[in-house]
């Protein structure tokens, strides 16, 4: 759903927020960036508080925008895993920058140490 107003027309930040500007969409991208499973049930577990309908809606948006692709790993019953496309993988640097800012300015000492460890773990897994 585009929320661009005339004063935001042509603004790349507003255009990006039209796609990824809500909490749940960014947290889905976070999970995939950290290398977590893109299976629906695993995303539901990680994103406590999101409804199944809302998660499905956000995944469809990301798929429609070419950020994720569905890969079926079971035919009966049909089960899919969501994975980044090249376009989606490039959002990793955006999420990492947000994480670094949050680590610096929003977390307590204990939270900071845990977050840094998770980021390092994710970086090692992607090498």
Query: Is 91 part of any domain?
Result: yes
Q: What are phi and psi of 100, to 5 degrees?
A: -60, -40
State the Cα–Cα distance between residues 23 and 99, nearest whole angstrom. 14
DSSP strands (E only) in 28-98: 68-74, 79-84
The domain of 95 spans 10-125
Q: What is the pLDDT along the chain (127 residues), one digit of tens a residue?
A: 566 678 888 899 989 999 999 999 999 999 999 999 999 999 999 999 999 999 999 999 999 999 999 999 998 898 999 999 999 999 989 999 999 999 999 999 999 999 999 888 888 877 7
State the Cα–Cα distance between residues 104 and 116, nearest whole angstrom. 10
State the Cα–Cα distance between residues 55 and 33, nearest whole angstrom. 17
How many domains are contained in the chain?
1
Q: Contact at 8 Å (CB) between 86 and 69?
A: no
Residue 123 is encoded by which pair of tokens? 């970086």
Query: Is 96 part of any domain?
Result: yes
Taking the whole predicted model, whether its pTM rises above 0.85 is answered as yes
CATH of the domain at 65: 1.10.10.10
State the Cα–Cα distance between residues 110 and 88, nearest whole angstrom. 31
Query: Is 3 part of any domain?
Result: no
State the Cα–Cα distance between residues 118 and 74, nearest whole angstrom. 30
Query: Is 111 part of any domain?
Result: yes
């Amino acid at each position: 759903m585009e929320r661009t107003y005339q004063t935001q027309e042509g603004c790349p930040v507003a255009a990006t927020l039209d796609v990824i500007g809500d909490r749940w969409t960014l947290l889905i991208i976070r999970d995939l960036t950290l290398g977590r499973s893109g299976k629906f049930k695993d995303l539901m577990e990680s994103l406590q508080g999101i409804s199944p309908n809302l998660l499905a809606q956000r995944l469809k948006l990301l798929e429609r925008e070419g950020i994720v692709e569905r890969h079926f790993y079971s035919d009966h019953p049909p089960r899919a895993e969501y994975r980044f496309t090249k376009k989606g993988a490039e959002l990793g640097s955006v999420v990492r920058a947000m994480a670094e800012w949050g680590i610096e300015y929003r977390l307590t000492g204990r939270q900071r140490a845990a977050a840094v460890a998770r980021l390092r773990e994710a970086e090692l897994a992607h090498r």
